[in-house]
Amino acid sequence: MDRHTLDTPYPVGPVHFYTCELSGDIIMFDTGPYTFVALDYIKKNINLNRLKYVFITHSHADHYGLENFIAKNSQARIFMPKMDHLKFTNLQTRIEISKKLLLKYGFSTDYIEKIKVMLLNFVNSVPLPINYEILEESKFDIDLNYMFCPGHSKSDAVYLFNGYAITGDCLLNNIFQTPLLDVDYDKNDRFNNYEAYCSTLLKFPILEKYTILPGHRKHSSIEEIVVFYVTKIIERASLIQDHCDKLVFDIIKNTIPYALNDPFTAYIKASEVLFFLDFLLNPYLLKESLEKINIIDSRLLRMFDRIFLKKVYQKN
């Protein structure tokens, strides 16, 4: 499996995509970002005439950015998770529900309009995916399996192929991947990233027998990555635990006011605050998942205990 690394214009930094050859054909996992450098790299380093399959882990721009170009310039079959397909085909619905949610969370209509413009500019800065197939409804003639590990996004497909696990943004070394605010179309409400992440944790032991290929940086170990991520959840949630009765906008205003200077940062922080509030509402869910996969040490237990004690104190 060959790793390709490209710079991105996003805070997360460089991104990886992966290719391998199989019986003269090329299999590709993610595409890299939509930048001139990435486009030039693909043209020079990937033989598009031999490209047979492209598998997208999730629909964040640094992972699917060149899908449109590849679809137009190759005969490759491209596969995208159904949740990501719905994200693109229900854009207007997603925006309208998101606006209602942000209003409920205390954002003004004027500020919500700024966030809407920012999100639309972001969407329009990358060509929309075309000519792809929905992963769950497709068949392919290679020995490849997949599973979904949502939390960072609603899809987060992990591809299991030839002893490798291509994990996208599910397992990132020393990075707190923001669980982005998204819409649950079945409920016309917010997608609960926290509950999804707690369920995803239970799937991680399956990956221990694979060589993990992450979307960013180098892999360390599943335990190290999970401990880092959970530590950040508890540390950051503890900072807003005294504000749980406030609206999300007011929590941001009181704890990280600089975030409101920029709609993009505000949207990211709103996503994180909602995740932390869900955790504070039911921290036991995360603790139980960690116990089931045997990734919890005395330090994490003490951190959980402080959250639990404060929760009891607040009730009394």
What is the pLDDT tens value at each position of the chain, 316 positions in all? 999 999 999 989 999 999 999 999 999 999 999 999 999 999 999 999 999 999 999 999 999 999 999 999 999 999 999 999 999 999 999 999 999 999 999 999 999 999 999 999 988 999 999 999 999 999 999 999 999 999 999 999 999 999 999 999 999 999 999 999 999 988 889 999 999 999 999 999 999 999 999 999 999 999 999 999 999 999 999 999 999 999 999 999 999 999 999 999 999 999 999 999 999 999 999 999 999 999 998 999 999 999 988 765 555 4
Question: pTM of this prediction?
Answer: 0.94
Residue 314 confidence (pLDDT):
57
Residue 305 confidence (pLDDT):
92
Residue 187 tokens, joined: 């409920």
Residue 108 confidence (pLDDT):
97
Residue 312 confidence (pLDDT):
52
Residue 39 tokens, joined: 């486009």
Question: Which CATH number does the domain 2-315 belong to among 3.40.228.10, 3.40.630.10, 3.40.630.30, 3.60.15.10?
Answer: 3.60.15.10
Residue 316 confidence (pLDDT):
46
Residue 308 confidence (pLDDT):
85
SS (H, E, C) 200-258: HHCCHHHHHHCEEEECCCCCCCHHHHHHHHHHHHHHHHHHHHHHCCCCHHHHHHHHCHH
Find out whether 126 and 87 touch, Cβ atoms under 8 Å: no
Residue 51 confidence (pLDDT):
98
Local structure of residue 126 (DSSP, 8 states): S
Residue 66 tokens, joined: 């060149």
* Of residues 144, 192, 114, the one with CA closest to residue 1: 144
Residue 315 confidence (pLDDT):
57
CA distance 266 to 272: 10
Residue 303 confidence (pLDDT):
92
189's enclosing H/E stretch is strand 189-190
Question: For the chain, what are the domain ranges?
Answer: 2-315
